[in-house]
Amino acid sequence: MADDRRWMYDGFDKTGGKTHSAEWRKKTQAFIDHAFSLTTHYRVRCPCNEHNNGKFVTREQLVRDLVDYGFMPSYETWTFHGEKETRVQTEGEAGDDSAGVDRMDEMLEALQPEFCLNSEGPPTKEVEEFFKLLQASEEPLHEHTKLSVLAFVTRLIAIKSKYFFSNKCFNDLVQLIGDAFPQLISCPRICISARG
């Protein structure tokens, strides 16, 4: 932890009156400046108690969300805003620590510099496609899962590659998924277009 961050929670007015402490306002503004200093993109992850770093927002939206909802619990180390978490690995955790971890957000964040917005004109086709990816990374596959559309498609394509599915086999599998779950109608189209 870079410094004592109790201010993130102690200075927040939980009554809904938005009369946050002067320290909270000053240090929250410093946090916002810090978060946007790390990116050339105009959106960052929102660590408010509503979004829990699960949504990318503009500076104005970040201010509103932090004022309205406060910081998410236990976010004293700003891992999604440039800080490294220091943690001692136990003996049982040794080995591949990426198994079962969805790191889609890290991949998309790494791509952001390649898709910088041209502030003097409309976004390019590549920028628009990147924003579609961001949206798919936040959109749940259906109401009964936290798995995003993008994570589902990525895992499906990884399985295709891992087990050497032919394109015909993959297309048939995608068609079966579409037939079995018509409420996911956009998913097969995404899969087929992602397959190239």
Backbone angles phi, psi at 103, to 5 degrees: -110, 25
Mean pLDDT in residue range 14-20: 83
Higher-confidence residue of 186 and 150: namely 150
Identify the band that residue 189 occupies on the pLDDT scale cut at 50, 70 and 90.
low
Whole-angstrom distance, CA of residue 47 vs CA of residue 136: 20
The domains of the chain are located at: 7-81, 100-195
Q: Which residues of 83-120 are buried (b: 16+ CB within 10 A; e: fewer)?
A: eeeeeeeeeeeeeeeeeeebebbeebbeebeebebeee
pLDDT for the residue 90: 52
Is the confidence at residue 150, as pLDDT, over 90? no
Higher-confidence residue of 192 and 175: namely 175
Mean pLDDT in residue range 14-18: 81
The two three-digit tokens of residue 186, written as one number: 């956009």
pLDDT for the residue 165: 85
To the question of pTM greater than 0.75 for the whole model, the response is no
User: Which residues, in sequence order, are bridge partners of residue 56?
Assistant: 45
Whole-angstrom distance, CA of residue 1 vs CA of residue 46: 19
63-122 pLDDT, tens digit per residue, is 999 999 999 998 888 888 888 876 555 555 555 454 455 666 666 666 665 555 444 556
23-75 pLDDT, tens digit per residue, is 999 999 999 999 999 887 788 999 999 998 888 899 999 999 999 999 999 88
Backbone angles phi, psi at 125, to 5 degrees: -60, -40
